[in-house]
Each structure stands twice: as C-alpha cells, then as structure tokens.
Structure 1
C-alpha cells in the first residue's frame, strides 16, 4: 500500500520518482494537476490525473 501525503508537494519531498514523472509531463498537464495539489496524495493519484488529462478526460 502506498503512503499518502498531505499534498503533491509533500509527495515530491518524499518520492523523487513522482516528481521526476511530473516534470516529464507536458506543460498543459502539469498546469492542470497543479490546480489540484491538495488532491494529489499518492503517486497513483498523480498518474491517474495525468492519464485522464492525456486522454482528454480532464
């Protein structure tokens, strides 16, 4: 089970793989995810948001 963090920034402080993944995303995806920092608490959350945005399900 993944550890859950308070927000995306806390996730990045503890999981550098998550931060590297975020940085590899297109600008428009990063912008959209950045508006939801409180809802990104795990790497799975991050990937899920990114996958939806990349598919256009935003």
Structure 2
C-alpha cells in the first residue's frame, strides 16, 4: 500500500477514518489518509511543467 499511493482508494481511507468508533484505529486511518494524500501531492508538484 505504501509503495504506490495512486493504487490506494483514498476515499475508502477517509470513510474508514470517519466511521471508525475506536479512537486508535481512527487515528491510524487518518494518518494513512494524510500520508497517501501527501505522497500524491508531492508526485503532482514534482511533475515537469507543474506551475503554481
């Protein structure tokens, strides 16, 4: 899962985080969601021709 962030269903991670009653698991899902989102953003920013 951590090899290619584009292969992960980020919506599924978000929903798992949102719907999880156990605080420890919710924090885990939230951390995974944030990690995958950050990796995707880094990938987009590092593409040739990307301009802000």
- TM surpasses 0.5: no
Structure ranking higher on relative contact order (CA contacts 8 Å, 6+ apart): 1
Structure whose CA Rg is larger: 2
Please give the range of the TM-score, normalised by the shorter of the 2 chains.
0.3 to 0.5
TM-score normalised according to structure 2 size = 0.34
TM-score normalised according to structure 1 size = 0.32
